[in-house]
Chain A
């Protein structure tokens, strides 16, 4: 029963995704081509990996506004490391490390510093973006060795890493969330933190781990982002915090924590990616695009909510 609950949640957004796919399949002859479907996955890869981390945080009742700034900072720092040292391995460690450190910092400030997640990560967003500008002097750092670009531009047996990485990340996180005590604790913290603490669980420790995990995933997203466009730019990933949160929420996760499925989050990310892709294919006037995007997002969440009510 518990398992089916986890799987069912987010099926509403799946219905919405299928409807959107049908609309675009009918209106654009090239939409359903394998190549295009691959393009869509590649285009949502970064945001989906980041959204996975954001989802864990939201499950605990928190929020993370820092991801855009962190992508920019981890991006420019590792870009300059790979350019100056010539060592892709070192730069990859730096990219993941910078984001991980900021994740741990956020977790510590929120738990031990008692700063609300919204304010704390808003501050980190600004600091990280600012540091990215200071560090790079506002100038993009471009052209990397292939090994450093592997996560963003490489492929294994013809399958892009931008497809492989999200699949691996989501599979692993599904197991963590649904098959480990850690996953149960994450849900428990979001449902009732005090009660969880009273059962003898060190909720602060687990929350720091969650923010650290999200940081690491943001670092991975940064690696994919700069590898793909072959450039680290302090203005990278503008607005990604909202895109990540939107993917999580469209995917049926409750903003108040405790409820949500990892499968829903990838569907949420795909919904946004499919809309962006379809609007380009149909050559819809850019003036109308954000209107369409906003409307579809609201409709998608409406479908999800209604399907839940019917089940309840």
Chain B
């Protein structure tokens, strides 16, 4: 058979399956449309969740519109309003914070559109399911890893995300619990607003007040990466172990170079996929779990 013939047959086969596909979808229902309202595509983490959402949607024949709130709660609300206008079948939401999320959920509730929250959580409103990393457990994992590297009574610091962020605060809670159990001294607990530059400043100030500091837990990797710059600038890289949370590419690279002691990696891509799967299952009439935990994993130079 000539190449041309082969191609023709292939094209015909494709056309037939395409027609069959449409027919199927039409008999079942028209194709589903999801909206994904994401808090900040400036953060690698959310970029990966969005990729998971898009890939899983493509796999399941769902079309998805992604709208970025760019860290602005007002824009987030506008985005969800736009999705309601578009009459999406489901809203997937990664809110800027639990309160802004509650406002967005209230709008969707009014329009009777089911909401699936990916991470962060919402303060109020009816959602079908919350898909979230095991943040409390992850904070404990970070705490245990740190406790194994230092002796009881050692000075440690805790750098947190913006005050009022519920989910990162769970990481901090898990970490604090382990520090208390193992007899470590948390000498500083300060916020660096999730940002690298601020993380560097705050770390510099903490080191100034506590020169004997031995370990730091930052509630996200951006702040941890800022902290290691401050530790390096103070010439204390050998003394102070820094552990982050999220598992971004930058953090993994820093762990490989030995600059960062470790991070607790979330699997944001899987979270995105799970969000779409859950929403499709729900719209297909299945019951879904109220909360689904996506497992976390410790990343260290050893692994």
**Which A residues are closer than 8 A to B by beta carbons?**
28, 30, 33, 35-36, 39, 42-43, 46, 129, 133, 137-140, 142-143, 153, 225, 228-231, 233-238, 276-277, 280-283, 286-287, 289
Contacts and interface: CB of A to CB of B under 8 A. Distances in A.
Contacts of A286: 160, 163, 189-191
B206 interface: yes
Given A43-B201, A238-B195, A283-B190, A133 B41 contact: yes
Nearest to B226: A229
B283 interface: no
**Of A46, A129, A142, most B-chain CB atoms within 10 Å:** A142
A281 B253 CA distance: 30
In the complex, the 9 A-B pairs of residues with the closest C-beta atoms, listed nearest first: A280-B205, A286-B191, A235-B42, A138-B41, A281-B209, A234-B42, A286-B163, A138-B47, A43-B201
Given A235-B195, A286-B191, A280 B163 contact: no
Nearest to B41: A138
A33 B47 CA distance: 43
B166 interface: no
Query: How big is the B interface, by class?
Result: 35 or more
Interface in B163-218: 163, 187-191, 195-197, 200-202, 204-206, 208-209
B250 interface: yes
Contact of A289 (B191, B196, B225): B191
Given A39-B204, A153-B233, A283-B209, 20 more contacts: A28-B209, A137-B47, A138-B41, A138-B42, A138-B46, A139-B47, A140-B196, A140-B222, A225-B197, A229-B225, A229-B226, A229-B229, A231-B196, A231-B225, A235-B71, A236-B197, A238-B195, A280-B202, A286-B163, A289-B191
B236 interface: no
Nearest to B200: A229
A146 B43 CA distance: 25
A306 B186 CA distance: 42
Nearest to B161: A286
Nearest to A141: B250
8 contacts: A36-B208, A46-B197, A133-B42, A138-B43, A140-B44, A229-B197, A283-B187, A286-B189
B253 A142 contact: yes
Nearest to B196: A229
Contacts of B70: 129, 133
A277 B200 CA distance: 12
Nearest to A284: B190
Contact of B249 (A129, A133, A139): A139
Nearest to B201: A43
Contacts of A277: 201, 205
Contacts of B208: 30, 33, 35-36, 39, 281
B40 interface: yes
Nearest to B189: A283
A110 B250 CA distance: 40
Contacts of A281: 205, 208-209
A39 B205 contact: yes
Contacts of B46: 138
A139 B109 CA distance: 33
Interface string B27-69: 0000000000000111110110000000000000000000010
Nearest to B250: A142
A129 B68 CA distance: 13
Contact of A233 (B163, B191, B196): B196
B229 A228 contact: yes
Contacts of B40: 235
A23 B163 CA distance: 25
A287 to B, nearest CB: 5
A279 B250 CA distance: 29
Nearest to A231: B196
Interface string B223-243: 001100100010000000000
Nearest to A126: B70
A190 to B, nearest CB: 32
Contacts of B225: 142, 229, 231
Contacts of B226: 229
B200 A228 contact: yes
B190 A280 contact: yes
**Of A30, A36, A236, A286, most B-chain CB atoms within 10 Å:** A286
Nearest to A28: B209
A307 B209 CA distance: 34
Contacts of A46: 197
B161 to A, nearest CB: 10
A33 B222 CA distance: 28
